[in-house]
Structure 1
Amino acid sequence: MSIFCEINISRPASEEFKPGDAVSGLIGYEVDEKTVFNKITVSLKGYGYLRIINRHHKEDPKYYNKEEYVNNDNVIVDSEIVLPIGEYETKFSFKLPENIPPSFVYHNNKNGYCIKCKIFYFIQIKFNSPDVLRSPEIFKKEIKVGTVLTSSLLKEPTVYSKQKKIVQLFSGNNTITIKAGIDKSVINNCEMLKFHYKVINDTNVAINSIEVKLVEVHTFNATGLQPVKRYNKVKETKSRTASIKGGDIQKKHFEIIVPFDKKTLQHSKIVSRDYFVKIRVLLPLFRQNFALYIPIEVGDENLTETELFESRRSYWEVMDECKVNKVINDKEHCITNNEI
């Protein structure tokens, strides 16, 4: 006996669902001989899995964590039934919960940790037989879930500052101060990020340069292990300024377009993704650099499909990128359920 199944999902124009969206479609299945079932269930499920191998120890201990985001069942057959040879159809409709994380895949094997993490959602149909020795027949089709940003930072101008004291002989002036202001800390995807800073060098030590860039930070939380962070600079956002002599002040204004594939990841206990503007003071040899981090949140907050498309197109026009394959290719390593 064989069951042939096809799961057809009515997808939105953007090809990804948002939290709170309805997920509907049609499942067609065929049996090639008369078959008895005692239960047929259609489900919407969503899970997050994390595995971290700690390479700092000889035993390579493994740490895990998991989450369930949605597990909705619709039982279409709940008593014993005989299905003759033929083709059958069943419709389904589920609603995604609010405040769930987006689909996510991550694989990294650097700096002493091997990290694999996956957040995924799928439609499933399960055929149970009254024969206890026979395993259920299960068919799945994954759906992609995007994110709707839940902002916690200010959407108005905000000022940050940081100071560092420099050890100097025979000088009472020994402080370097960074003061930075950002127009708003919550921005839509592909929107222009505008900020400025002032560095006051109240020392007799020349500052080599000021480095500015956008930084992406993933934080992974496995049971029994301290949070593991991974830092990545966002391409095309790094710049350096001229040196600052002792006693001088440097003021600069910056504008950065955040790439459309960079979004804050929220609503998960196993992983988060955050973004910061990093303003780093580069000092001469034998003196420790220091930096000011300005937190920002990035997402498609209240954008329509048309606005989202236009913002993405504007980004690639500004960045002088015209190749479609560079926009849509997904270079992330895929993790199967067996790998988790």
Structure 2
Amino acid sequence: MGLQCQILLPPKEEVYRGGDFVEGTLKYSLDEPMLFNSIFLFLSGRGECYWTESDDDNSSKSYRGTEEYVSEKMTIQALKGTVEPSVYEYQFKFQLPKVLPTSFHDTICTISYKVVAEFHIPGIFKSKVFDTEIPVYGPLKRVHPQPLIFGLTKTPFSLTSKGPVDLKVEIDKTYLTPGEKITLKCTTTNNSGVPVTGIITRLVNKTTYISDFGHKRIRTDNVDGSVWEWVGTDKNSVNTVICDVPTQPNLFTIQHTKVMTRDYLVTVTVKLPFPHVNASVELPVVIGEISPDSGLDMAMEEKEKDELV
């Protein structure tokens, strides 16, 4: 059997947050004497994205982005020596940084946090590594105040157009917990002589992947179940509608990382008949846990300054 290893964490810890302590027990056993150069235990947090893109000449180019968020080490055995058969236990305690991104996995990008045990054995490529992943929620920074009023003015291009179409949108909250509804109050003032054929609201997920050299890949998707449409108005009228844009429990904004961002945008589109062009406005909202800790706000500001240097 040789070496057996477990990294034991308290079962009560469902998720860790910035600044939390990660405590547990490293337990390993040997059924025969083994020689180790060293034994270390790490708290590791890393982000990595990788993708390929095709060029016009059908060739492809790869892009990669990497970033380290935390790397804390605990030494179990520093010098080369033989460890006798037995069961060994070591208590560990690490602390996460206050400002870090939330754990994330998709086909292009991974942001993960792990407790890692490394047993370095003499010889080439003979180290043994054991790890256990921990879920982490990072703090989020507000993007806009709330409540908020925004809008647009659209003047249809027409020989018969008499004036603009004004849209005013009032949003009650610009930062939300996952699963919470976004309430919008949309008021259209139509003085154009052209009918408004509808208003569409939706929640959009915008994910931006960023390579080490600044190349970006952007993916935008509608959030399932978030599209809502209201039938239009007369040519000259004032109408107000209130709609709820749903979120989902698994949605969360991602900040504080150089390899990717995940933003959510509420978009409101005023539909006009052909040949007129529709008009849209969008507003970023933050979904996740917003910390009221002023000290944390200062830590975020310091991190942003460091990233600009």
The TM-score with structure 2 as length reference comes to: 0.87
Name the aligned partner's letter for residue 29 of structure 1.
Y
Which shows bigger deviation, 41-50 or 291-300? Answer: 291-300
- Find the counterpart in structure 2 of residue 68 from structure 1: 68
CA distance in 2, matches of 1:144, 1:94: 15
The question of whether the paired residues in 1 share the 8 Å contact of 2:157 and 2:276 is answered with no
Asked whether the 8 Å contact 1:124–1:140 carries over to 2, the reply is yes
Aligned to 1:139: 130
Provide the rounded CA distance (Å) in 1 between the counterparts of 2:43 and 2:88. 20
Q: Indicate conservation of the 8 Å contact 1:52/1:222, yes or no.
A: no
Contact 2:15 2:137 in 1 (8 A): yes
1:225 Cα deviation from its structure 2 partner = 5.8
1:255 Cα deviation after fit: 2.7
- Counterpart for residue 45 of structure 1: 44
Deviation (angstroms), 1:75: 0.9
Q: Distance in 1 between matches of 2:202 and 2:8?
A: 43
**Residue 218 (structure 2) aligns with:** 229
Moved more, 266-275 or 144-153: 144-153
CA contact (8 A) 2:202 2:227 kept: yes
Q: After superposition, give the CA deviation of every residue in 1:105-154 in whole Å (9 maximum; x if it has no partner).
A: 122xxxxxxxx11111111111123x343522211111111233232321
Runs of 4+ in 1 over 6 A off after TM superposition: none
Mapped to 1, the partners of 2:267 and 2:39 lie a distance apart of: 54
Distance 1:16 1:168 in 2: 57
Is this contact kept in 2: 1:23–1:93, CA < 8 A?
Answer: yes
1:126 corresponds to which letter in structure 2?
E
- State the distance in 2 between where 1:165 and 1:191 align: 35
How far 1:191 sits from its partner (Å)? Answer: 2.9
Measured in 1, the distance between the counterparts of 2:157 and 2:218 equals 31
CA distance in 1, matches of 2:284, 2:124: 56
2:116 maps to 1:124: yes
Equivalence for 1:163:
153
Instruction: Output one character per residue of 1:164-223: Cα deviation in whole Å (capped at 9) or x when no partner.
Output: 22211154x242221111123122233332221111222122121101111211111124
Aligned equivalents of 2:236 and 2:182: distance in 1?
Answer: 30
In structure 1, the residue matched to 2:3 is 3
> Shift of the alpha carbon at 1:237?
2.2
- TM-superposed deviation, 1:32: 2.6
Question: Residues of 1 paired with 2:10 and 2:282: CA distance?
Answer: 42
Q: 1:274 to 1:174 in 2, by over 3 A?
A: same
> Residue 270 of structure 1 aligns with which residue?
259
**Structure 1: which 5+ residue stretches go unaligned?**
108-115, 304-340
Tell me how far apart the structure 2 counterparts of residues 100 and 118 of structure 1 sit (CA, whole Å). Answer: 14
Distance of 1:181 and 1:190 partners within structure 2? 20
Letter in 2 for 1:151: R
Superposed CA RMSD: 2.0
Maintained 8 Å contact 1:39/1:78: yes
Q: SS of 1:241's equivalent?
A: strand
Amino acid at match of 2:175: V
Indicate if the aligned counterparts of 1:63 and 1:225 stay in contact, CA closer than 8 A: no
**Does the CA contact (< 8 Å) of 1:211 and 1:240 recur in 2?**
yes
Q: After superposition, where does 1:176-187 map in structure 2 within 5 Å?
A: 176-187=165-176
8 Å contact from structure 2 (residues 190, 236) kept in 1: yes
- C-alpha distance in structure 2 between counterparts of 1:18 and 1:186, whole Å: 18
- Give the share of equivalent positions with the same residue, in percent: 25
1:182–1:194 CA contact under 8 A, matched in 2: yes
Q: Tell me the distance in 1 between the aligned counterparts of 2:193 and 2:215.
A: 41
Q: Give runs of aligned pairs for residues 310-325 of structure 1, distance below 5 A.
A: none
Unaligned runs of 5+ in 2: 293-309
Q: Find the counterpart in structure 2 of residue 292 from structure 1.
A: 281
Q: Kindly report which structure 2 residues correspond to 1:247-262, keeping only aligned pairs within 5 A, or say none.
A: 247-262=236-251
